[in-house]
Amino acid sequence: MILSVSRRTDIPNYYSEWFFHRIEEGFLYVRNPFNFHQISEIDLSPKVVDCIVFWTKNPQPMLKDLDKLKEYQYYFQFTLTGYGADVERNTPHKKKIVIPLFRKLSSKIGREKVIWRYDPIIFTDRYTPEYHLRAFEQIACLLHGYTNKCVISFVDLYARNKKRMDLLQQNHISPERFFDFCRKLNAIALANGIKAGSCAEEIDLRTCGIQPNSCIDKTLIEELTGCSISAGKDKSQRDQCGCLESIETGTYNTCITGCQYRYAHDSRKQAIANYNKYDPYSPLLCGEVLKEDHISRRNVKSCKETQMSLSF
């Protein structure tokens, strides 16, 4: 199985101690977001975990303990944008802290295992296409040689983030300007040795040189594991998403960074309330098992195809 850590919250930043305790214990619990009292127990044995995909804006708390993952294959989806505190609250200074951290992580584990995410892209009076191109170029130059790929996406509206996004007063740009922006962004990426890919976009950007991307990437996972991976598309994601199926380990309403576009929490106040329940030794993230809960062991297995098939 592939382990997603996590689309719902920034586990490397806020909950790395919990995650490493779960690795040591060999299992974790995940509460069903649609059925509160249903809990799945997930086996974390290296025999069944083919690859771990981390999603983060700040992996600093994990760096000192990465050796604890020596029996696992893994890579990072590292979000790094040009937004200020009006959009991304509580994010460390980009040039002084985040970019050096990106480079440090890349040097430690290999640039193929650190994917740069410049997403989501939002157009406003402040964050114009020209602004994004300047910010993107500055970051790309500083990451030259430290990553092979950059994933972009354009903001999507969900019930959870619509009110916050309305406050930003998004601007809509013409198709001509949009595709010109995408072509220029791709040219900047290529000039810095970076391949640009798009994440779950309905609009085909291949004419701009930007290929559809799979964030949980079959090709990369096969390269890391040295095995063919037998897994299908993740049916729980949008139709445009090309990700392999994975097991999600995170919990909604637990990321306290406070990004305006964040779809995985209703409010920062609620996220902070859940964060205050955090126990790094609990099998559950930000919660405890209740007497009404039903725990079932999820049937998981490796997706590696280790046997070669012969044709006669």
- DSSP secondary-structure letter at 94? I
pLDDT at 156: 67
Helix axes 175-191, 129-143, angle to 10 degrees: 10
Of the pLDDT bands very low, low, confident and very high (cuts 50, 70, 90), residue 145 is: very high
CA distance 49 to 19: 14
Q: How many CA atoms lie within 13 A of 211 on its CB side?
A: 8
Of the pLDDT bands very low, low, confident and very high (cuts 50, 70, 90), residue 202 is: confident
CA distance 129 to 146: 25
Tell me the pLDDT tens digit for each residue of 151-161.
999 976 555 54
pLDDT at 259: 83
Length of the chain counted residue by residue = 312
- Domain borders along the chain are 2-305
Read off the tokens for 104. 């440090």
pLDDT at 309: 41
Residues paired with residue 114 on neighbouring β-strands, in sequence order: 76
Average pLDDT over residues 153-182: 76
